[in-house]
């Protein structure tokens, strides 16, 4: 485990037990998932409130176009929240802000 209780850095207070060996972030294992560490309004301005100590699955998820490639997981999440998948044409102007 990656939580502070097991010597890791992820705050255990922000996790819940998934099974005897694994935890997940509070709010992510529900029908309408929303991590309780997510700050802001999805689709407007949102960010991870524990970015520096986020768990490994969050490190593994590549945001679309951040490294020049699309992200199927990112697209899936955007569609679930009523947004279009991020295209490169949408991404580039966001980087100039
Ligand atoms: S990146 Fe942050 S807000 Fe997103 S799921 Fe991971 S811990 Fe939660």
Distance from residue 11's CA to the centre of ligand 1 (Å): 12
Which atom from ligand 1 is nearest to the alpha carbon of 38?
3
Q: What is the mean pLDDT of residues 9-38?
A: 93
Write out the DSSP string of 9-48: SB-GGGEEEEETTEEEETTSSSSS---TTEEEETTTEEEE
Quote the pLDDT of residue 94. Answer: 81
Q: What is the mean pLDDT of residues 5-32?
A: 92
pLDDT tens track for 39-95: 999 989 999 999 999 999 899 888 899 999 999 999 998 998 899 999 999 988 888
Which atom from ligand 1 is nearest to the alpha carbon of 27?
8
Query: 74 in ligand 1 pocket by Cβ < 6 Å?
Result: no
Please list, in sequence order, all residues whose beta carbon lies within 8 angstroms of the beta carbon of residue 55, skipping any fewer than 6 positions away: 2, 10, 15, 25
Distance from residue 87's CA to the centre of ligand 1 (Å): 22
């Amino acid at each position: 485990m990656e939580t502070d209780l097991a010597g890791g850095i992820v705050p255990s207070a922000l996790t819940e037990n998934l099974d005897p060996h694994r935890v997940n972030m509070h709010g992510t294992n529900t029908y309408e998932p929303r991590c309780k560490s997510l700050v802001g309004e999805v689709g407007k301005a949102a960010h991870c409130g524990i970015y520096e100590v986020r768990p490994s699955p969050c490190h593994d998820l590549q945001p679309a176009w951040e490294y020049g490639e699309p992200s199927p997981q990112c697209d899936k999440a955007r569609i679930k929240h009523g947004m279009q998948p991020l295209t490169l044409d949408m991404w580039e102007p966001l980087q100039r802000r």
